[in-house]
Amino acid sequence: MKLIKFLNSNESSMESYNALNSASLLKAMGHSVYIMSAKSHYLNDFCNKNKITFVDMDFSIKLGFLKLPEVDIIEIYGYNLHNYLLLKKLISMNTPVILNIYSFPDNKFIEFIRDNINNFSKIIVPFESIKDELVFNDIDDDKIFVNNPLLLLSRWESAKQIKPAIFLKRPYRVITVYRKQNLDNIKFFLSVAKKILSLNQNINFSIIGLKNDALREYARELGISHKVDMLGWREDIPEIMAMSHIYVRTDKSPDVSRSLIEAMASSVVCVVPQIKGISDVIISDYNGVIVEPENEKSYVKSIISLINEPIRMQNLSNMAYNYAKANFSSNIVVRVEEILCKDVIMENSII
């Protein structure tokens, strides 16, 4: 099978992570895989390492002047309005097209899908709530297929191995991760941290994401800067997750983030807001804890309750890991993708 994966989103997105890692696994399974995207050092290095042919999306390609390798199927990941001409060209070709959506689409994206629905053989989404959103907006149910996002579990499983020792370690460590700059969400996390520290000083907090002087200053204003580690962006997130007890998400977006899945795979208890999308992954008091969004008291009460009940916290952490392993294992997810692609190719050859 020959396929090309078009990365129509930024390289740090959930779409790109799934596209690149599924490409490397499909390549290892004997398929011919191409990656098309705007050129970057990271993508070049990834493709060279995995012996995947990289197709540079230069200016002429953006305008729709395509010189693509002959493939059996095209997979598009995400939506970028700036690449509209290229998208129209890709979906107008005789090659079957699969659209992969890993976040809730905005109105323009939904309109684009609806207007071009006959050009898509399948639309792959990671969760039922995104499928429901598309169906609600009159996208044909039969076109949509749910396949979980993937995670390369090996490094995260290593983190899981030291968890029994971590649960005996004090002080407790509460962590949050952000890839998009949203000061309000992190300030909310810091406000929650201040209230928790007023009840229990045997806790440290960590923030992973782009460093920001305004956040440091806010932590100083709250008088908790000595209890908060602002780690910046790190390459050793599995190791940091391994040393953490609780992951907190304050973001109100319904999109499931990579960091949430990574925390679960690291056997970290996840405290998340009650928002559509997130509930596809976290079931309260089964594999995590769901709280009221933007409610400091709800966050504080839940986190303190976990810390006061270490056995419950450990049970939840084990269930989080088991859920991640059962649902996000890369080998299973890519095997499902392979079967779906072959089915689409066969259906189009009959037509």
**Strand runs (DSSP E) across 178-288, as ranges?**
203-208, 228-232, 246-248, 269-273
Give the Cα-Cα-Cα angle 34, 121, 70 (nearest 5 degrees): 30
- 67 with 170, same domain: the answer is no
- 245 with 210, same domain: the answer is yes
Nearest to 22 by CA among 332, 344, 264, 348: 332
Which pLDDT belongs to residue 285? 92
Which pLDDT belongs to residue 110? 94
For residue 268, give the DSSP letter.
-
Looking only at the bridges linking them, the beta strands covering 2-7 and 73-77 are: parallel
- 121 with 252, same domain: the answer is no
Which pLDDT belongs to residue 304? 97
Cβ–Cβ under 8 Å, residues 284 and 290: yes
Per-residue pLDDT reduced to its tens digit, 22-32: 999 999 999 99
Q: pTM of the predicted model, to two decimals?
A: 0.89
How far apart, in whole angstroms, are the C-alpha atoms of residue 188 and residue 247?
A: 14
- Domain around 105: 2-150+329-350
How far apart, in whole angstroms, are the C-alpha atoms of residue 312 and residue 305?
A: 9
Tokens in use for 345?
A: 């190719």
How far apart, in whole angstroms, are the C-alpha atoms of residue 5 and residue 57?
A: 12
- 129 with 166, same domain: the answer is no
Per-residue pLDDT reduced to its tens digit, 149-159: 999 888 777 76
- 136 with 161, same domain: the answer is no
- 235 with 103, same domain: the answer is no
- Number of structural domains found in the chain: 2
Where residue 49 sits, what CATH number does that domain have?
Answer: 3.40.50.2000
- 57 with 199, same domain: the answer is no
Residues with pLDDT less than 50, the chain: none
- 184 with 230, same domain: the answer is yes
- 159 with 285, same domain: the answer is yes
- 90 with 228, same domain: the answer is no
Nearest to 218 by CA among 183, 264, 182, 172: 183
For residue 255, give the DSSP letter.
S
- 213 with 275, same domain: the answer is yes
- 256 with 322, same domain: the answer is yes
CA distance readout (Å), 246 to 15, 75, 94, 289, 309: 26, 36, 49, 10, 13
Strand partners, 205: 174, 228
Which pLDDT belongs to residue 239? 82
